[in-house]
Structure 1
Amino acid sequence: MSEAVADGHNPLIPQPKATAEELRAALVRIAPSQVAAFDADRTKAMAAAREHVDAAPMRRFLRQWALTVAIERHPARAARLRELEARAAQVEDLTEARAIASEVSAIQTDAADEAGIDRRAGG
């Protein structure tokens, strides 16, 4: 493994296309512990799409998991997000809470940009 990849700051894999198959294959490589959650979410989204005859649940599913892959493919970024989420659950100081929220938002914005996700887009 190269130093660039080993340091956790460069992506482990290229960002895949936002298809269920490519996202799942990426998770198998970079975050295998999340494959079961992906499969469960996919099943729920497909059922909702069928029930309501609406593609919106599948679009939301694909956007969410494309964002997850974009975060997880950078190990340092994924680790930092987990640290922030853990700290957010404990913080009592409003200023610190705002700083955490700002950093989480920046991570999600960067990942959304990499995944080609318009975060303003609706269902």
Structure 2
Amino acid sequence: MSADPAHHRDPDEPLFPMPPLTEAALRVAVARVDLSAAVRFEQEFHAAWQEAVQTDSTVPMHTFLHRWGVFVALRRIPSRAARLDELERAVGRAPTLEEARAASTEIAALLDMAAREAAE
């Protein structure tokens, strides 16, 4: 994360308020929570824009904004971001299908919570 954790004392508190689902606001937020993701954000933004123009539809842009809103919602709270990373590693290392499913279920719950937060 690019946000300075030393200055952020409570890992359960957001680093910043949830931004509106606009390209400019999400661009800033993505850069704050994960500078390396900012490159992907730009690539996906241009791809979504091209698809929107080619299909004469706003759906690609709405999908792009929603996806990155969820990304920011997941990562703007340090404890949530850490838990997501932990669960993703657990799925990859799970010795049994049941353990992988349990971690995947928790990931799904985090994604659902982030999607609701992004939609507010």
Whether TM-score is above 0.5 comes out as: yes
- Superposition pairs for residues 4-83 of structure 1, below 5 Å? 5-83=8-86
Q: Which moved more, 1:32-41 or 1:80-89?
A: 80-89
Give the letter for the 1:56 counterpart: V
CA deviation digits over 1:47-89, x for unaligned, max 9? 1111111111111100000000001101111121112112212
2:100 corresponding residue in structure 1: 97
Aligned partners of 1:14, 1:109: CA distance in 2, in Å? 18
Structure 2 stretches of 5 or more lacking a match?
A: none
Instruction: Output the CA distance in 2 between the equivalents of 1:12 and 1:49.
Output: 32
> Would you say how many aligned residue pairs link Structure 1 and Structure 2?
117
Cα distance in 2 between the residues matched to 1:8 and 1:33: 21
Runs of 4 or more, structure 1, over 3 Å off, are none
1:37 shift after superposition: 0.7
| Identical columns (%) | 37
TM-score w.r.t. the length of structure 2 is 0.87
Question: C-alpha separation between the residues in 1 aligned to 2:88 and 2:70?
Answer: 16
Gaps of 5+ in 1: 118-123
Inter-partner Cα distance in structure 1 for 2:109 and 2:13: 17
The CA deviation at 1:97 is 1.5
